[in-house]
Amino acid sequence: MTATEFWDAHYATPRAAPRPNVRLTEAVADLTPGTALDLGSGAGGDTLWLARRGWHVTAADISGVATGRLAERAGELGLGDRVTAERHDLAETFPAGRFDLVSAHYLHTSFAFPRARVLRQAAHALAPGGRLLVVDHGSVAPWSWDQEARFTSPREVAESLELDAGEWTVERAEALSRQATGPGGQIAEVVDHLLLIRRTR
């Protein structure tokens, strides 16, 4: 099974209305709306949350099933003029444009994926003053299938991008705790790794 087939199958089952990631709502709430790119947009909770707040969002995902449903949902909510949903295998293609915000939440996959290269492209896609928000898992939830995962720190992620310090600056690199709810209703404390990079010129 290819990565595209896997994620199309994953999103084939209709889901409840998607919710935004809490780290996005915290980090972006005070920013002036502009253009945004949601990498690995999935069911579209982050994209729709941004669009409702006035952002013009390009949503990119490897699953055509996911992007098709997101475009349909945006239209139903009256947000069609603020959401552009595009299918991209980010290992091969990257959305065109310049963005005030690029958001990459939990951009992990068990398939081969040039993650550092993609995030470097994301940083280069920022307009001057724009921000790249990367949120990764920082701990293993009790219900996770991979109990021996290793988690890269936000600083390690920043270093892997090899960005010129004269053009990009790290505004935040933090490990943050929150309560999460598992598929069976279990409650556990988990850690998110948050990296916020700003393009200065």
Hey, what domains does the chain have and what are their CATH numbers?
Answer: 3-170 (3.40.50.150)
Q: Which residues pair with residue 135 across a beta bridge? A: 105, 194
64-76 vs 45-52: helix crossing angle, rounded to 10:
30
Whether the model clears a pTM of 0.75, i.e. scores above it, the answer is yes
- Is 15's pLDDT higher than 90? no
Find out whether 103 and 24 touch, Cβ atoms under 8 Å. Answer: yes
How confident is the model over 113-142, as pLDDT tens digits? Answer: 999 999 999 999 999 999 999 999 898 877
Which comes out higher in pLDDT, residue 17 or 18?
Answer: 18
Q: Which long-range contacts (CB under 8 A, 24 or more apart) does 142-148 make?
A: 142/182, 142/186, 142/188, 143/182, 143/183, 143/184, 143/186, 143/188
**Is residue 39 predicted with pLDDT exceeding 70?**
yes
- pLDDT band at residue 184 under the 50/70/90 scheme: confident
| pLDDT digits 0-9 by tens, 71-116 | 999 999 999 999 999 999 999 999 999 999 999 999 988 888 999 9
CA dist 125 and 130 (Å) reads 9
Q: Exposed, middle or buried by CB within 10 Å (0-12, 13-18, 19+), for 164?
A: exposed
pLDDT of residue 151: 87
